[in-house]
Amino acid sequence: METESTPFPGDEDSLDVALMARIGAGDHAAFRALVERHQDAVVGTVARMLGNPADAEDIGQQVFLRIWRHAKRYRPEAKFTTYLFTITRNLVFNETRRRSRRKEVSPDEREEISHLQVAAESARQPDAELLQAELQQAVDAAIAALPEVQRMAVVLRRYEQMPYEEIAEVLKLSLSAVKSLLFRARATLRESLRNYLDE
C-alpha cells in the first residue's frame, strides 16, 4: 500500500525495531508484517548466493524462524537489516560448506544446464529478449563463480543497494576490506563478462 510520503530509512529501521519488540512479546501479526517486509530481499539474496530457488525458500524460512526464536534477546545495536542479513549470511555460508562437502553439480555441468535453459527459452523468445536473458544468465553465472565472501558482498551491494558500512558489519570486515573485496570482485566479473561487454 502506497502512502503519499516516503518514510526515511531511519523510519524504516524504527518500524523494524518496533515490530521486533512486539515479536519478542509473542505477537504473530507483527511477525507476519516483518516477514512481508523483508522476505523478498532475503529469499532473493539466498537464491543469488546458492543458485537454487527451492533452497532459497527453505533457507529464507530458517532465517525468519531464527528471528522469531531470538526476538526476546534482540537488541537494536545496529540496523535491523544488518542483523537480518548477518543471520542470512551465516545460514548461506553453512549451506555452501555443506554443499562443497557433498560436491553436488560440477561447474561444467552447471554451465551445460545453463546453456540448455537458454536454448529452451530461445524457442519462445524474440532475439532481443533472448540476448537479455542470455546476458542475465552470464551475469548470474559469473557472480556464482566468485568466492563466497566476494559473492555475498556483490549481492548485498548490487541487489540490496546496501551501503559499504553495513556490508562491513554483516561480513564482520573492515570498511577498507569490503571496498577491496568489491574491487576484486568487479575486476573478476569484468574479465568473466568481457565477451558480452565487448559486444
What is the model's pLDDT at position 54? 83
Q: What pLDDT, in 10s, does the model give residues 72-95?
A: 999 998 899 999 999 999 999 999
Q: What pLDDT, in 10s, does the model give residues 52-69?
A: 888 899 999 999 999 999
- C-beta separation of 89 from 152 below 8 A: yes
pLDDT band at 198 (very low <50, low <70, confident <90, very high): low
- Torsion, Cα of 67, 69, 74, 78 (10° steps): -20
DSSP string, 5-36: SPPPHHHHHHHHHHHHHHHHTT-HHHHHHHHH
67 burial level (CB within 10 Å; 0-12, 13-18, 19+): buried
Domains, in order of start, for the chain: 9-104 (1.10.1740.10)
Q: What pLDDT, in 10s, does the model give residues 97-140?
A: 887 776 544 455 455 445 544 444 444 445 667 667 777 788 88
The model's pTM: 0.76
Q: Residue 49 and residue 151: Cα distance in Å, rounded?
A: 7
